[in-house]
């Protein structure tokens, strides 16, 4: 699950990020409302955690703007008891849920999971190339009827590539989509995972589905 966190209180943002990541979620954190708006438009998230009082653009404006632009990512607003707005305003502006500060991580995680479940389009279409079939909702992958076991990370890399096929996906875009924009480790992790994928989806079948486009990135390509 990929979450965009828009929060300018760094201590809170750090602890929320750590809490969500401990639950296996990928968290992109920005501290400014305009950055939040930009990220929410540019990338696909399962949910957005949106503070209200923010530099750049306040959370209500971010929420209203996204809905006006028909971006329907579930939004959970963080409200403060003494805030200038109340929770009714949040719903009026298109938020899906709210949580009043201070809140517990357990509650936040539960609410986010429930929001993502509710908003999941059903049924999710399978992603296919040649005889490779990937079911994003069921998290299964098969080739010629053979089930291929992928780790969640491998699965995310493969679906990120398939969703953009046949376009070439830049290494940095894959890194952002799968590991999050705050990832500070070695970017070569992308190559490592592409290698894992090939070992599972291509090598045993004599296929070459994941191609390297030198100096650019990776591409899913069918036989024809
Ligand atoms: Ca704030």
- Tens-of-pLDDT digits for all 224 residues of the chain? 899 999 999 999 999 999 999 888 999 999 999 999 999 998 889 999 999 999 999 999 999 999 888 888 999 999 876 656 666 677 777 888 989 888 999 999 999 999 988 875 545 678 999 999 998 777 899 999 899 999 888 988 999 999 888 899 999 999 988 888 778 889 899 999 999 999 999 999 999 999 999 999 999 988 75
And the tokens for 212?
């390297």
Distance 216 CA to ligand 1 centre (A): 38
| Per-residue confidence (pLDDT) for residue 6, from 0 to 100 | 98
- In order of their start, the domains of the chain are 2-118 (3.40.50.2300), 123-220 (1.10.10.10)
Q: pTM, whole model, 2 decimals? A: 0.60
d(CA 112, ligand 1 centre) in Å: 19
Q: For position 206, what pLDDT does the model report?
A: 94
Distance CA 28, CA 88 (A): 27
For residue 178, the model assigns a pLDDT of 86
Distance, CA 63 to ligand 1 centroid (Å)? 15
Cis amide linkage into residue 66, ω under 30° from 0? no
Cα separation, 22 vs 36, whole angstroms: 22
Residues with CB under 5 A from ligand 1 (ion): 8, 51, 53
Distance 127 CA to ligand 1 centre (A): 39
| pLDDT the model gives residue 82 | 60
Contact 178, 44 (CB under 8 A): no
User: How far, in Å, CA of 52 to CA of 90, rounded?
Assistant: 9
Q: Which 8-state DSSP code applies to residue 219?
A: E
Nearest to 16 by CA among 5, 1, 24: 5
Report how far ligand 1's centroid is from the alpha carbon of 134 (Å): 40
SS3 at position 11: helix
Q: What pLDDT score was predicted for residue 70? A: 83
């Amino acid at each position: 699950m990929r979450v965009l966190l828009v929060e300018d209180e760094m201590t809170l943002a750090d602890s929320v990020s750590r809490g969500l990541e401990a639950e296996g979620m990928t968290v992109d954190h920005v501290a400014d409302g305009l950055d939040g708006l930009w990220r929410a438009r540019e990338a696909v998230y399962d949910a957005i955690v949106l503070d209200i009082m923010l530099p750049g653009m306040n959370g209500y404006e971010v929420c209203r703007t996204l809905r006006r632009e028909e971006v329907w990512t579930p939004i959970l607003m963080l409200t403060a008891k003494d805030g200038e707005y109340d929770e009714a305003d949040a719903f009026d502006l298109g938020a899906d849920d709210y949580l009043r500060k201070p809140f517990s991580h357990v509650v936040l995680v539960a609410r986010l999971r429930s929001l993502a479940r509710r908003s999941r389009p059903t049924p999710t279409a399978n992603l296919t190339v040649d005889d490779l079939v990937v079911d994003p909702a069921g998290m299964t992958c098969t080739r010629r009827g053979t089930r291929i076991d992928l780790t969640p990370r491998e699965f995310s890399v493969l679906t990120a590539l398939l969703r953009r096929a046949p376009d070439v996906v830049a290494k940095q875009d894959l890194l952002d989509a799968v590991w999050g924009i705050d990832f500070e480790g070695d970017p070569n992790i992308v190559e490592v995972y592409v290698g894992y994928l090939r070992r599972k989806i291509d090598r045993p079948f004599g296929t070459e589905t994941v191609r390297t486009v030198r100096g650019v990135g990776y591409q899913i390509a069918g036989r024809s």
